[in-house]
Chain A
Amino acid sequence: MTDMNPDKARRSASLHRPDARTRRRNAAEKRFRACGLAAILLGLFFLLVLVATILRNGAPAFTRTVLEIELTLSPAQVDAAEAEVFKTRAYAQLFIAALQDQLETRGLDVAFDAGALERIVGQPGGTIRAHFQANPGQIGEPVVFELAASSRVDGYFNGRVSRATLQDSRFLQASDLDLVDALADAGILRRAFNLTFLTGADSGVDNPGGAGIGAALVGSVYMMFVVLALALPIGIAASIHLEEFAPKNRVTDLIEVTISNLAAVPSIVFGILGLAVFIQVLHLPQSAPLVGGLVLTLMTLPTIIISTRAALKAVPPSVRDAALGVGASQMQAVFHHVLPLAMPGILTGTIIGLAQALGETAPLLLIGMVGFVARGYPEGVVAGFTEPNSAMPAQIYTWAARADAGFYDKAWGGIIVLLVFLLTMNLIAILLRRRFERRW
């Protein structure tokens, strides 16, 4: 040992002048904090961009272009139309006449032919006839019709379609847009809230205007019910058994490793398992939310079990000791004391699992919950867990894959609905957490 006195070396430095070592340490800390802040800001920036893009692109899905027209048909006109061979065409002609009438009263003189009008609002004859057949009392009275415009017109209003892009389209021609402009100026064509999008089912590939996410939303809700009703009790029961009761030996070690591995298995593998077991062996109905929910339950279970075990582990052992010390049985100790304390953690894990399940598309492809057009909606779909349905992410996937650009808006709009659903679920979980949260 040298005779250097560490006390003396220390005392020689002034507290007002940080030594080199301290300066280096402080600089390193500053750098690290700056990096952390930068990472958070970068993340926030991307989140902002994402949300803004989704809102901007998705908003048009919630409105649609409608052609609003007041129509008064006399009983004689109805009788005459009903006497025709092509009844809907007769109604369409009445509609065209009324439209021309209205344009003239507003002093707009635009020439248009039936073809152009058909490209703008389709064939409204059927809709009008159906309305008067259902409400014969309204014959002779003024009735306001809101007729959905075609997706190209919709796109024109969104800025997705312009005269330049319409040159050789058979769905809408550039010359038709003069009529569209005139109708818009007259207030006959306007944007209106699209309730169909929220309540309706998917439509055919050539009718993006009629497509709705409602049926898929119902499907997703049903699946979440199945997942929650199965995965939560099974997951918690399994975790409690593994964590509190099972002896620590090779078998439980093996089970633990298996659960961890299952959490990392690609979801499509669970899909094919569901197809093989639930549909091919157990003969459960195809495309049904019940089967989808079962598959997603299998997928969610490992997540819930792992997080529940972590939450149970985090409860201080002194709480268990205290309960056992006053003569509680192990089950009483777990259910009266440990589980309530672990509940916030369990809820977090459950909500992560449910969110994963909600956003899952791949396994649903294999059990036929995708590419589904509802017939007999809403009764058929809303009826139950075993009726064919789709799920929101699968529906969005289908729309995104369709050729018609009108579905593009729908896909973005669907994502907004999906996110709102997810946030609602999270909010409920956070509120529940608040109730359970206790300190120890």
Chain B
Amino acid sequence: MFDAPHPTLATPTTPPTRTDPKIAACNVDVHYGTTHALRDVSVEIEDRTVTAFIGPSGCGKSTFLRCLNRMNDTIDSARVTGVILLDGEDIHDRRVDPVQLRARVGMVFQKPNPFPKSIYDNIAYGPRIHGLARSKADLDGIVERALRRGAIWEEVKDRLQASGTGLSGGQQQRLCIARAIATEPEVLLMDEPCSALDPIATAQVEELIDELRASYSVVIVTHSMQQAARVSQKTAFFHMGRLVEYDATSKIFTNPEDARTESYITGRIG
């Protein structure tokens, strides 16, 4: 059973250590126009851990995920309040450039969205704009490494110049994951990455997520409780815009403290 030591909020005077949370969110509220989508969410996400967000549709789990790399900035009507710390630094600080933040906090979306470019260019785009490769050979290496870690290298190594949009849905999603890890992020946010995939592709992606845990902090939003149970070590249950319960996955699924959590995982609400 996974038993992490209770994380404590990092203060600027103590440098982040292994036990410090990777991301600490405190009293986060999100409004879309007049809709109050997320209410007072506080959560600490650990490094090298898979954290699952579960909950019924519209409960705010995706909204919260999009707060973590400030993707909500792109929605005009969205207003985010509260504090979110990445390695102890406020990501809403005026000095923070969201572009730099998103290079460190990568994201994989619900629908596979490869660029309508070649497979190679899909992966190489991020490293190129961030200047991670010094030479063509360097870039080739990064692309191969990312595709290997995305568990798709064997399938596409002979057609790197083929269009990324010509792949099957599962391959596209793994391509997107490979694209996200090519920029060497520290946190990987995944918004229902398997909802458009068949069970075999889902299994491949889940296996991949498990491997990624060795180097990244992975946060995954999922509708499938089985998936949350399979891949995550920590699970957060959202309901009606509130974080109801956040604990070790095994505890959430076997002995939840909140009645709503129990109802949801046993299929009575949701």
Contact of B100 among A316, A326, A327 (CB under 8 A): A327
| Contact between chains at B102 and A327 (CB < 8 Å) | yes
- Stretch in B38-46, B108-116, B226-234 touching the partner: B108-116
| Contact between chains at B165 and A327 (CB < 8 Å) | no
Tell me which residues from 122 to 148 in chain B have a Cβ below 8 Å from any Cβ of chain A: 125-126, 129-130
| Contact between chains at A318 and B115 (CB < 8 Å) | no
Tell whether B198 is near chain A: CB-to-CB under 8 Å.
Answer: no
Given known contacts A325-B106, A327-B183, A439-B165, is B113 in contact with A319 (CB within 8 Å)? yes
Dominant secondary structure of chain A at its interface with chain B: helix
| Contact between chains at A327 and B130 (CB < 8 Å) | yes
Tell whether B252 is near chain A: CB-to-CB under 8 Å.
Answer: no
Chain A, residue nearest B116 (CB): A440
Nearest CB of B to A311, in Å: 15
Given known contacts A247-B76, A248-B76, A440-B165, is B114 in contact with A327 (CB within 8 Å)? no
Contact of A327 among B115, B116, B126 (CB under 8 A): B126
Q: Bound complex: CA of A319 vs CA of B176, how far in Å?
A: 12
Tell me which residues from 41 to 83 in chain B have a Cβ below 8 Å from any Cβ of chain A: 69, 71, 74, 76
Chain A 311-323 interface mask (CB, 8 Å, partner B; 1/0): 0000010111111
| Chain B residues, CB < 8 A from A319 | 113, 115-116
Q: Bound complex: CA of A222 vs CA of B47, how far in Å?
A: 64
Q: Bound complex: CA of A319 vs CA of B102, how far in Å?
A: 15
Tell whether B96 is near chain A: CB-to-CB under 8 Å.
Answer: no
| Contact between chains at B99 and A326 (CB < 8 Å) | no
| Chain B residues, CB < 8 A from A318 | 109, 111, 113
Nearest CB of A to B129, in Å: 6
Chain B, residue nearest A337 (CB): B115
Tell whether B119 is near chain A: CB-to-CB under 8 Å.
Answer: no
A-B contact count (CB 8 A): 69
| Chain B residues, CB < 8 A from A321 | 71, 74, 107, 109, 113
Given known contacts A318-B113, A341-B116, A438-B116, is B183 in contact with A326 (CB within 8 Å)? yes
Chain A 233-264 interface mask (CB, 8 Å, partner B; 1/0): 00000000000000110000000000000000
What range describes how many residues of B lie at the interface? 20 to 34
Q: Bound complex: CA of A248 vs CA of B75, how far in Å?
A: 10
- Stretch in A93-101, A295-303, A328-336 touching the partner: A328-336
Tell whether B179 is near chain A: CB-to-CB under 8 Å.
Answer: yes
| Contact between chains at A336 and B125 (CB < 8 Å) | yes
Tell whether A324 is near chain B: CB-to-CB under 8 Å.
Answer: yes
Nearest CB of A to B117, in Å: 8
Chain B 175-205 interface mask (CB, 8 Å, partner A; 1/0): 0100110110000000000000000000000
Given known contacts A247-B76, A322-B176, is B99 in contact with A329 (CB within 8 Å)? yes
Given known contacts A247-B76, A329-B99, A440-B116, is B71 in contact with A324 (CB within 8 Å)? yes
Tell whether B103 is near chain A: CB-to-CB under 8 Å.
Answer: yes
Residue numbers of B with Cβ under 8 A of A are 69, 71, 74, 76, 99-100, 102-103, 106-109, 111, 113-116, 125-126, 129-130, 165, 176, 179-180, 182-183
25 contacts between A and B (CB under 8 A): A318-B113, A320-B74, A321-B74, A321-B109, A322-B109, A322-B115, A322-B176, A322-B179, A323-B115, A324-B102, A325-B71, A325-B106, A325-B108, A326-B126, A326-B129, A326-B179, A326-B180, A326-B183, A327-B99, A327-B126, A327-B130, A327-B183, A336-B129, A438-B116, A440-B165
